[in-house]
Amino acid sequence: MLKIDLDACIGCGVCEANCAFGAITMKDGHPEVNEKCTLCGTCVDNCEVGALSIEREAKAGQTDLASWSGVWVFAEFRRGRIAPVALELLGAGRGLADTRGVKLAAVLLGSELGGAAAELIAHGADTVFQVDDPALAHFTDDAYGNVLADLIRAHKPEIVLAGATAIGRSVIPRVATMMGAGLTADCTQLAIREEDGALLQTRPAFGGNIMATIVCPDTRPQMATVRPLVMKPLTRDAARRGEVVNVAAPPERLRSRVKVLDSVASEGEQANITESDVVVAAGRGMDGDKGMALVKELADALGGAVGASRAAVDSGWISYHHQVGQTGKTVAPKLYIACGISGAIQHVIGMQSAETIVAINKDPHAPIFDVATYGVVGDVFEILPKLTAKMKERKGA
């Protein structure tokens, strides 16, 4: 718990002002801490007189932490192909494994896996644990969870990474619960802490208004999910050598209480926002259907897709499939044009990997300009039609 040394405290209130969780209130000239405190330590760092300290209770955690070793990546496989995020995670996992001096393994579950294991090795895996069984043809959280947990119990990796996809976000929390392990969702950075080799998992918190770094000091494996397009894959190297371990799962572990009756691949509309070279995105500033039409026209003129901030989606101007950001899709196009988007970190996380970012906003202080390559302060309703006309003109010329 947070300890307050009342003799040392000078009642300056810096701790209250800097607490992102609203856990500290000043009363009678001294801070009082409430149940919102997460022991993040920000106040301790900020206290100039050293009046604050954190006392952690010893946890009844696992005792054999040192016997866990290796970095694992859950390699999602669906409709006959490896999810791109798995290769991205191998890229990130390779770095972590090298820092720790351990092996990098991929776990490949599915049916008719073909040459997928070789592909994972070419992208950085030292080992691939492969379970190829018709019972795994479709994703069910039961069977996938059981098989993955059994493998983890048998081989005891210290780190398990998975893509924050619909599948990853369904099965990984289940596995973490089975293992009694900590899990951090949607990490944007992963690193190894020098002192003790712990995995530092950084993710946005509070709708992306702040970043939080999280560790799991007392439990193994350390588990994290990462959104697609956040990490970079290694260059494919067919000469890389690795080991494929075929594992047969017992039938009772493959039995699922969930049956997939049909699996429908969707209309192209959903996909093209993550694959398009150009994304023109609309935010709250587009103010309804009329504004959305302007964005669409510019996107059409540039041959791009339409994206949107959470605010635009929540206002019902466009469907969720177009949402870019922490709770939407991550995109990394050649050109991203943010129109009337203020640039809350929740949105920026989803588009900051774009090569060129153009921001158009009437508020010169909008945070979107901080990530922009080119910023234009002005009225989107004036600028967009003119820009669209200009771009059409050039195309025609």
Partner 1 sequence: MKIFVCVKQVPDAKDVRLDPKTNTLAREGVESIMNPYDRHALEEAVRLKEAHGGTVTVLSMGPPQAEATLREAVSCGADEMVLASDRAFAGADTWATTYTLSMAIRKLGGADLILCGKQAIDGDTAQVGPGLAERMNMPCITYVRKVVAVADGAIRVERMMDDGYDLVEAELPALLTVVKEINEPRIPSLKGKMKAKKQQLVMLSAADIEADPDQLGLKGSPTQVVRVFAPEMRGERAMIEGTVDEQVAALAARLEAIL
Q: How far is the CB of 217 from partner 1 (least distance, A)?
A: 6
Place of tokens 């690795």: 242
Quick one: 130 or 326, whose CB is closer to partner 1?
326
Considering only residues 24 through 43, tell me which ones interact with partner 1, judged by CB under 8 A.
35-42
Q: How far is the CB of 377 from partner 1 (least distance, A)?
A: 7
* 153 contacts 220 by C-beta, under 8 angstroms: no
Quick one: 121 or 299, whose CB is closer to partner 1?
299
Considering only residues 219 through 258, tell me which ones interact with partner 1, judged by CB under 8 A.
219, 256-258
One of 30, 78, 100, 296 touching partner 1 (CB under 8 A)? 78
Stretch that binds partner 1, among 64-72, 126-134, 201-209, 239-247 (CB under 8 A): 201-209
Stretch that binds partner 1, among 67-75, 97-105, 239-247, 364-372 (CB under 8 A): 364-372
One of 22, 29, 50, 250 touching partner 1 (CB under 8 A)? 22
Q: String of b and e for 73-89 (b: at least 16 CB within 10 Å)? A: bbbbbbeeebbebbbbb
**Angstrom distance (rounded) from CA 229 to CA 246:** 29
Distance between first and last Cα of the chain: 68
* 273 contacts 308 by C-beta, under 8 angstroms: no
Considering only residues 159 through 198, tell me which ones interact with partner 1, judged by CB under 8 A.
165-167, 169-174, 176-178, 180-186
**Angstrom distance (rounded) from CA 100 to CA 194:** 10
* 360 contacts 339 by C-beta, under 8 angstroms: yes
Considering only residues 266 through 285, tell me which ones interact with partner 1, judged by CB under 8 A.
266, 270-271, 278
Quick one: 113 or 223, whose CB is closer to partner 1?
223
Q: Is the peptide bond before 221 cis (omega within 30 degrees of 0)?
A: yes
Stretch that binds partner 1, among 128-136, 230-238, 243-251, 378-386 (CB under 8 A): 378-386
One of 204, 291, 340, 350 touching partner 1 (CB under 8 A)? 204
Stretch that binds partner 1, among 59-67, 98-106, 150-158, 240-248 (CB under 8 A): 59-67
Q: How far is the CB of 29 from partner 1 (least distance, A)?
A: 21
The SS3 of residue 277 is coil
Considering only residues 96 through 135, tell me which ones interact with partner 1, judged by CB under 8 A.
none
**Angstrom distance (rounded) from CA 369 to CA 354:** 14
Question: In sequence order, which residues have a C-beta less than 8 Å from that of residue 298 and are 6 or more positions away?
Answer: 280, 337, 339, 384, 387, 388, 391
Q: How far is the CB of 300 from partner 1 (least distance, A)?
A: 14
Q: How far is the CB of 387 from partner 1 (least distance, A)?
A: 5
Residue 2 has φ and ψ, to the nearest 5°, of -80, 125
Strand partners for 78: 81
Q: Which of 120, 165, 126 is nearest to 144 (CA)?
A: 165
Quick one: 127 or 165, whose CB is closer to partner 1?
165
Q: How far is the CB of 93 from partner 1 (least distance, A)?
A: 20
